[in-house]
Amino acid sequence: MTETIFSKILRREIPAEIVYEDEKTLAFRDINPQAPVHILVIPKQVIPSLAHAQDTDTALLGDLLNTVRKVAIQESLDQGYRVVINTGPQGGQTVHHIHLHLLGGRSMKWPPG
């Protein structure tokens, strides 16, 4: 398995502004925010990308979305928010550890880019 910056954050080798943690997931503020609220939600189990997920990962994928929901409530994103999963090079994925971007605090445009 390839070492990533997220592995180092999980092991607390690199500091991060953690906003939520449970036994399966971790959520922290993005260091290069694209919205007033930009939080990354990652699983503690390493899955390189959504394309690498298996049917046996269904519960964990649900846990990730449930964490997004909890963090959105915690961050008072009651006017709405966007959830993004970049997958692969053409999808804009740069860290090979599945992660969800929670973006909020402003109106989002479509198409996103």
Active site residues: 99
Q: What is the helix (H) or strand (E) element at residue 68, kind and residue range? A: helix 58-74
| CA distance linking residue 112 with residue 95, whole number of Å | 20
Select from 97, 111, 103 the least CA-distant residue to 29: 103
Contact 104, 82 (CB under 8 A): yes
